[in-house]
Amino acid sequence: MLAGTRGAELNARSWRRGALAVTGRPRLIAMLAVTCVPAIVVYAIVARSDARPLPSPGGASAAALPRHAQSLEGAARPMGVAVADDGTIYVTEGSGEHRIRVLDQQGQALLSMAAPEAEAGASAPVYVAISPAREVYVSDQGDNAIHVFAPDGAYIRDVAPPADTAGVWHPLGVGFAPDGRLLVTDVTPGQHRVMVFDPSGNFAFAFGSEGNGDGEFSFPNAAAVDGQGRIYVSDSNNGRVQIFDAAGGYVETIDAWAGGKLGLPRGLAIDGRDRMFVADTLSGLVLVYDVSGAPKFLYSFGGGAEHPLHYPNGLALDSAGRVYVTDRENNRVEVWQTY
């Protein structure tokens, strides 16, 4: 504080001078109050704004972000991934030797599989799914078939296509419903649709056609079933996920997330907590929705600086809440732990 004449002048001025004349502990308390209150107000306004995703209705733990767990190497241009209930991981290669790589939870290679007696260079496995009997179903677009392997890698048979295909089909996406039904997306030119096989492997019915209207598909890459029996189809080239009832009747469409429109949705899966995970290849993200009722976008992951996905394609969930995503151009499978 200025003393003397100068100090007297200043002390005689506005109320602010008077306030600044306060010293000691009261002054400290006053200053803290003056600084904290506006900061808290600003924080409350901005940080609580709607420019954030809503918390999951399942509670704070359901909305907790996944944490990156590990990166698994060993597959060239990995396209599809599946995880058996014992944790064994199956990954299809989109280039190189075009084999199906089998890894354990530590990422160690156990064995690899290949299509039987395929003409060299023709086999091109794309997606993989594990049946309740632990058989490994692999769609192969070079052979235009679904090959079935035993867990030890031995080839068993091919899935017989429906009779109306006259033996020629183009199976792409494969997935098993909780009740053991097999879902197959077929991309025969002009006849894109979804086929359902009963748990015994017999063709049950098909639904959909090629196009961009409700119930129509353009290169559907994946199909999955939730706990309520509803069928989710990754209608990739139409940039959307379509939801159908158990009989294949159209229900609704998901075509956007908080960041805009879906780009190229590919692998998808639904966990036991009614959360749908879908890999968006062109956005480089995994998008997560709450599908317990009307679909609600929850959050995305995979676009950060530490483990950026470079054209994610296939996606799988295991029973321990881990998400497996084929990071195609990074030649890795990325694993996240969900909560």
Partner 1 sequence: MKGQPMFQGRVSATLRRVAPVFAGFAIVVAVAAIAGWNGAAAAGLSGREDAASGIGAWHDAPPVDAAGTGTGSRAPQTQQQLAGSDPHGAYTLTTSSCAACHRSHTAPADTLLTESAREGALCFSCHDGTGANSNVQAQYTDVNVPANNAATSSFYSHPATSPSSHISGLVDEFAGVLNRHSACADCHNPHTMNSTLAVGTSSGWRASGALAGSAGVSASPAYTWTDPIVYEDELCYKCHSGYTTLLSYSKESYKKTDKLVEFDTANASYHPIEAAGKNTTSQLAASLAGGSRWNTFTTGSTVRCVNCHGDYRAASPAANARLAPHTSRYRGLLIANYRDRDLKSSSQAYAAADFALCYLCHSQAPFSTTSEDPRADTNFRYHGKHLRGISNEGGGGLDIDTLGAGQGNAICAECHYRTHSTKLAPWAGNQDYARGVNFAPNVRPIVGEAAPLWSPVTQTCTLTCHGEKHDPESYAP
Q: Which of residues 65-104 bind partner 1 (CB under 8 A)?
A: 65-68, 79, 94-96, 98
Question: Among 82, 83, 113, 124, which residue interacts with partner 1 (rule: CB under 8 A)?
Answer: 124
- Pick the binder of partner 1 from 8, 18, 29, 54 (CB under 8 A): 54
Go through 96-114 and write b for each residue having 16 or more CB atoms within 10 A of its CB, e for each that does not.
eebbbbbbebeeeeeebbb
Cβ(76)–Cβ(93) below 8 Å:
yes
Token pair, residue 250, equals 């159209």
Binders in 285-314 for partner 1, by CB under 8 A: 285-287, 289, 294-297, 299-307, 310-311, 313
Per CB under 8 A, does 337 bind partner 1? no
Token pair recorded at residue 16: 């602010």
204 binds partner 1 (CB under 8 A): no
8 near partner 1 (CB under 8 A): no
Under the binding rule (CB under 8 A), the answer on residue 281 touching partner 1 is yes
By CB under 8 A, residue 11 contacts partner 1: no
Q: Is 60 in the site for partner 1 (CB under 8 A)?
A: yes
Residue selected from 14, 15, 46, 154 as contacting partner 1 according to rule CB under 8 A: 46
Closest separation in Å from C-beta 211 to partner 1: 9
126 is an interface residue for partner 1 by CB under 8 A: yes
Strand partners, 316: 324
276 within 8 A of 241, measured Cβ to Cβ: yes
Please say which residue, 107 or 259, places its beta carbon nearer to partner 1: 259
Nearer to partner 1, 203 or 257 (CB): 257
With binding defined as CB under 8 A, does residue 24 bind partner 1? no
Closer of 273 and 296 to partner 1 (Cβ): 296
Binder of partner 1 out of 35, 71, 108, 202 (CB under 8 A): 35
Which residues fall within 8 angstroms of residue 218, CB to CB, at 6 or more apart?
A: 192, 210, 211, 212, 235, 236, 237, 238
**Number of shown-chain residues binding partner 1 (CB under 8 A):** 92
Of residues 132-151, which lie at the interface with partner 1 (CB under 8 A)? 141-142
Are the C-beta atoms of 335 and 315 separated by less than 8 Å?
A: no
Question: Cα separation of 17 and 6, whole Å?
Answer: 13
**Helix or strand holding residue 8 (H, E):** helix 4-11
User: What is the full DSSP assignment across 33-87?
Assistant: HHHHHHHHHHHHHHHTSSSSPPPPTT-TTTTPPPEEEEEE---SSEEEEEE-TT-
Q: Which residue from 87, 153, 259, 321 is in contact with partner 1, where contact means CB under 8 A? A: 259
CA-wise closest residue to 113 among 77, 191, 178, 128 = 128
Give 74 or 267: the residue with its C-beta nearer to partner 1. 267
Touching partner 1, residues 233-252 (CB under 8 A):
236-240, 252
Tokens coding 221: 């890459």
Supply the minimum distance, in Å, between the C-beta of residue 21 and partner 1: 9
What does the alpha-carbon distance between residue 170 and residue 213 come to, in Å, rounded to a whole number?
A: 21
| Shortest separation between residue 120's beta carbon and partner 1, angstroms | 6
Structure token digits, residue 265:
């949705």
Residues in 178-197 at the binding interface with partner 1, rule: CB under 8 A:
189
The reply to whether 166 sits near partner 1 by the rule CB under 8 A is no
